[in-house]
């Protein structure tokens, strides 16, 4: 017996259908908002991620699947942004550009509920806009999408982590504060402070967090431009009618963020409570060899989000399943056309073998979870109607052939 690798999943049946419905809704919604889908390779040269995500981040230090072939080092993609920018530069695309990606990501993490080693992300990136209006706009996109698919009870946390200018001065201030608290910090944090100091705020240990509650925050130490930018983002969010909470300890686990960072959280998820995470990354394009280009974006974990939602997604295809039981092989041409008519109205439709007795076909219809079985035989042919059996109620009705289109448009199986 073979087993799938730890942290991976087989997706099928209801969960896959729900994920597909979320993807379809995302494609439809974000295209209507100007975001074009982009597909990049599922593996890249590892250097791309080392450079963009940062060598001192959890992702690059522990989570990347790296492999070497012919002395070249590759990595399964752990996130989408770096690849999108690489593709933008490499294909000489033009600004402003809006991208949507929907694909699997790979991270070697400890698997738990809502945390897998291969997982899906739906993400959007807006390249070439530096105005705070667009920070608010992409947050609004995330919120409207969640509302569209029926997600509830999420909150939005917001912060600004400034630019290298404000961070330099702030680092000194934080350093002198921490000097007196070094004994309370875990060894990870001591190391982080040296190599990637903002990320100490990400520490999960309560003893460290108690120190950081009292520590000076980057948000209160922004340079004039960053402070103004942040102020405007909040003002626009208010105008968009978006509720948010400021979280001065929100930093994000990747190196490339500047200024605005945000997370959408869900209360019912326990430790893995972030469903959307993102922010502004004005320095990354340059870092990857492109022109100076301000960018914002976010990524969502649809599998995690599904854990918070009841069985019924409003966007799920609510159409019915039909099963056609022809009574005799001479009706094949007729039932194939009937199938096309039913599918043309957006319903699912399966064919029975018209050579089989009707009883057996109806049994099969049941096994296929058909909501309706359409029976077509001699009497139906002679009198121009279909016999439609409602499988849940067990009731039959005659529907005239010329009224069948109208019937299909209005049916509700339950």
Is 301 one of the binding residues for ligand ATP (CB under 6 A)?
yes
Binding of ligand ATP at residue 35 (CB under 6 A)?
A: no
Of residues 294 and 297, the one with the C-beta less far from ligand ATP: 297
Subset of 140-199 contacting ligand ATP (CB under 6 A): none
Within residues 65-94, the interface with ligand ATP by CB under 6 A covers: 79
Query: Inter-axis angle of helices 13-32 and 132-148, to 10 degrees?
Result: 140
Angle made by CA atoms 152, 156, 162, in degrees to the nearest 5: 165
Under the binding rule (CB under 6 A), the answer on residue 53 touching ligand ATP is no
Nearer to ligand ATP, 280 or 347 (CB): 280
DSSP line for 319-352? --EEEEEESSGGGHHHHHHHHHHHHHTT-EEEE-
Residue 108 φ then ψ, to 5°:
-85, 75
- The correct pick among 88, 116, 244, 323 for binding ligand ATP (CB under 6 A) is 116
* Nearer Cβ to ligand ATP (273/356): 273
SS3 104: strand
Q: Is position 380 an interface residue for ligand ATP (rule: CB under 6 A)?
A: no
First to last CA, the chain: 41
Size of interface with ligand ATP, in residues (CB under 6 A): 18
The helix/strand/coil state of 67 is: strand
Strands 97-106 and 36-37: parallel
For 220-235, b/e burial (b = at least 16 CB within 10 A) is ebbbeebbebbeebbe
Residues from 238 through 297 that contact ligand ATP (CB under 6 A): 253, 272, 274-275, 277
- Which residues, 6+ apart, have CB-to-CB distance to 237 below 8 Å? 136, 139, 140, 158, 244
By beta carbon distance, the residue nearest ligand ATP is 301
Please, what is the minimum distance in Å from the beta carbon of residue 25 to ligand ATP? 17
Q: Identify which range of 38-46, 112-120, 152-160, 314-322 contacts ligand ATP by CB under 6 A.
A: 112-120
- Candidates 17, 27, 66, 115; binder of ligand ATP (CB under 6 A) is 115
Helix (H, G, I), strand (E, B) or coil at 295: strand
Give the H or E element holding residue 385. strand 385-390
Q: Which is nearer to ligand ATP, 206 or 214 (CB)?
A: 206
Q: Which is nearer to ligand ATP, 296 or 321 (CB)?
A: 296
Interface ranges with ligand ATP (CB under 6 A):
79, 107, 109, 114-116, 119, 121, 253, 272, 274-275, 277, 299-301, 303-304
């Amino acid at each position: 017996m073979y087993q799938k690798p730890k942290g991976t999943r087989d997706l099928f049946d209801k969960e896959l259908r729900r994920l597909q419905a979320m993807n379809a809704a995302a494609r439809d919604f974000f295209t209507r908002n100007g975001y074009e889908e982009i597909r990049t390779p599922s593996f890249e040269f590892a250097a791309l991620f080392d450079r963009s995500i940062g060598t001192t981040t959890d992702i690059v230090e522990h989570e990347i699947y790296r492999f070497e072939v012919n002395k070249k080092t590759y990595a399964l993609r752990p996130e989408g942004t770096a690849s999108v920018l690489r593709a933008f530069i490499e294909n000489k695309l033009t600004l402003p550009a809006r991208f949507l990606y929907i694909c699997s990501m790979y991270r070697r993490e400890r698997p738990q509920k809502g945390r897998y080693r291969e997982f899906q992300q739906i993400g959007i990136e807006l390249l070439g806009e530096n105005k705070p209006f667009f920070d608010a706009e992409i947050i609004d996109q995330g919120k409207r999408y969640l509302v569209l698919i029926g997600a509830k009870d999420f909150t939005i946390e917001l912060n600004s982590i400034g630019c290298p200018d404000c961070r330099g001065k702030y680092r000194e201030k934080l350093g002198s504060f921490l000097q007196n608290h070094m004994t309370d910090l875990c060894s990870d944090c001591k190391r982080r402070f040296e190599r990637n100091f903002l990320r100490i705020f990400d520490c999960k240990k309560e003893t460290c967090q108690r120190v950081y509650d009292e520590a000076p925050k980057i948000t209160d130490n922004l340079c004039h431009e960053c402070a103004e930018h942040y102020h405007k983002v909040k003002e626009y969010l208010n105008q968009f009618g978006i509720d948010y909470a400021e979280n001065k300890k929100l930093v994000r686990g990747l190196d490339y963020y500047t200024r605005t960072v945000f997370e959408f959280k869900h209360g019912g998820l326990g430790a893995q409570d972030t469903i959307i995470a993102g922010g502004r990354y004005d320095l990354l394009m340059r870092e990857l060899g492109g022109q100076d280009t301000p960018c914002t974006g976010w990524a969502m974990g649809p599998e995690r989000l599904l854990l918070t939602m009841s069985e019924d997604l409003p966007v799920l295809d609510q159409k019915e399943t039909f099963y056609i039981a022809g009574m005799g092989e001479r009706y094949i041409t007729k039932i194939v056309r009937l199938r096309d008519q039913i599918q043309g109205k957006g319903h699912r439709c399966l064919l029975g073998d018209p050579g089989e007795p009707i009883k057996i076909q109806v049994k099969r219809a049941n096994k296929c979870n058909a909501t309706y079985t359409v029976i077509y035989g001699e009497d139906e042919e002679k009198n121009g109607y279909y016999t439609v059996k409602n499988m849940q109620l067990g009731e039959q009705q005659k529907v005239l052939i010329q009224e069948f289109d109208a019937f299909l448009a209005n049916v509700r199986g339950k």
